[in-house]
Amino acid sequence: MKLEGSLPLTHIISEPITLDYLDNSSKLREFFPAHFTQGKLRKFKIDRERLVKYLRDYNEKMNAPSRVMENIDALLDEDTYVVVSGQQPGIFGGSLYTIYKALSAIIISNRLSGGGRRFIPLFWNASEDHDLSEVEHIYLMDKNRPCRIHYSIKGGSRSASEVKLESREMEKFFQRIEEVTLQSEFKDKILKDLKLLARQSENLGDFFSRLLLFFLGKEGLVLIEPRILRPLMIPLFEKMIQDPLRSTELINQMAARLKKRGYSPRIHKMSHLCNFFLKRKRVTYNGKFFIGERSFSSQDLLKWLEENPFDFSANVVTRSITQDYTLPTYAYVAGPSEIAYFAQLGKIYHEFGIEMPLLYPRFGATILENKVAKIIKKYHLKTLDLRSPTSLIKKLLKKELKPLFGSARGDISKALLALRQAASQVDKTLGDPFEASQKKIFREIDSLEKRAVRSLEKQNSLMRSQIHKAAENLFPLGDLQERKINPLEYLIKFGYDFLEVIQGEFSSSSYGEHRIITPPG
């Protein structure tokens, strides 16, 4: 049998806004200024010289290769733009989709470049995020089951850029990786490389940037953390202080309009909430600004901004505004949930005098190893069948019993029909009780079939084991593989060539396509 080449988006994306956006539905025209298929250069005013300096300083510190530095210098040209993607930094790069987002930015930049215009891939390392529970662990497969490997972060709520890498914890982390992963010809070299990167890194955000540059820097991927560009964002925070609740009002207006169109908005904000943080603490406004119990005037915060701009940071509403105010963004490469968030941001862009960039859907993938492909072929399955392994096993066993019980039902139906005809000739009133008896007989057959399925399931332990192992490889913990498993799982098995295989597959994919990829070997 021929294996599928991709998964249908309707089976992997549950967000109606995203699905309708990808279809360029007229229902969403008022929420997105343009569709990525149309192509539209946005207008912006940025200080390219200052931007290039900040990018150069940061990427040099991260030991970026020469191609990255060449791309940064190209941004001095007015006809050079960036294709941005981004993600909060996970330990060891987080889940596979982080790599997929970065590769998407690279491929889209390559496709768009030409005709006198150049497009540069840039990854926005959202290191100010302080939801550390999402980034302090990875999943690798241990005996065909997802295994959670945890990096212990001590202390209270902090941003990823404030989490120092501790050598003792990192040693424990590497030791656990070595225990869980299979031995391969690539393993020692890859772990040695990553240990060196960890030793060079000061904190979690730093380590994340170094990893992406190490993996994809040769493709020209530029990295930046938003705090590095904070001086360029000062006018934005001034506006947030001067009109503190305007963006909250607009986000809730757009939420109401989406509801009228039958959608469920992704962002909900309390009316007194400001859309920036101070030292990563929530700010509210009620005539005065409040951080916890402390109150401040507008002048207090404007002075604070002037003296310590690095204390200010954006939240989910204003993050993309800070990005597109400081960068010559042509397009943002978004995941399915992110596209739904952007549906509420159009008016906020307009309020800040910024045009929203085009939104391109990222590429996605499920890695289908040969051991799993054999099971799919053996049982004549489709990849998505493995998303519900328990139901699948029952379906397969029922299919095995179908000829037997189907034949029995047919024979019994014929016999009962003959009996009914004979009984009706004796007494016409016997028809109704006969029909009730017939239903009871078939209920007993159904019950017997279910018992036979359960009995077969117990006996057929090999099939049950193979199906569950295959399902865990493709849909670990019931989720898409790309949302759970760390890239190390496949880098150790297939080497750095794994990244080239994924890039090659994505290069021939449609925007937003989710490919099923079988690595060589």
Residue 361 sits at φ, ψ, to 5 deg, of -75, 140
Domain positions in the chain = 6-231+318-366, 234-249+259-314, 370-479
Cα distance between residue 482 and residue 139, in whole Å: 11
DSSP string, 314-375: E-TTTHHHHHHHHS-EEEEEE-HHHHHHHTTTHHHHHHTT-PPPEEEEPPEEEE--HHHHHH
Task: Give the closest residue to 277 by CA, choosing from 310, 253, 300.
Answer: 310
What is the per-residue pLDDT for 398?
73
> What does the block give as tokens for 134?
């999402």
Per-residue pLDDT of the chain (521 residues; tens, 9 = 90+): 556 799 999 888 999 999 999 999 999 999 998 999 988 888 888 999 999 999 999 999 999 999 999 999 999 999 999 999 999 999 999 999 999 999 999 999 999 999 899 999 999 999 987 677 778 899 999 999 999 999 988 766 678 888 888 999 999 999 999 999 999 999 999 999 999 999 999 999 999 999 999 999 999 999 999 999 999 999 999 999 999 999 999 999 999 999 999 999 989 889 999 999 998 899 999 999 999 889 999 999 999 999 999 999 999 899 999 999 999 999 999 999 999 999 999 999 999 999 999 999 999 999 999 999 999 999 999 999 999 999 998 888 777 655 555 555 555 655 566 566 665 655 666 556 666 666 777 676 666 656 766 666 665 788 889 999 999 999 999 999 999 999 999 999 999 999 999 999 999 999 999 999 999 87
What is the per-residue pLDDT for 443?
76
DSSP string, 148-188: EEE----SSS--GGG-BPPHHHHHHHHHHHHHHSPP-TTHH
What is the per-residue pLDDT for 382?
94
DSSP string, 425-437: HH-GGGHHHHHHH
Q: At what angle do helices 298-307 and 230-242 cross, to 10 degrees?
A: 180
Cα distance between residue 106 and residue 357, in whole Å: 17
Torsion of CA 75, 77, 80, 84, to 10 degrees: 20
> What does the block give as tokens for 103?
């590769």
Cα distance between residue 71 and residue 133, in whole Å: 34
- Write down how long the chain is: 521
What is the per-residue pLDDT for 153?
83
What is the per-residue pLDDT for 435?
67
> What does the block give as tokens for 413?
């139906």
Please give the share of the chain, as a percent, with pLDDT higher than 70. Answer: 88
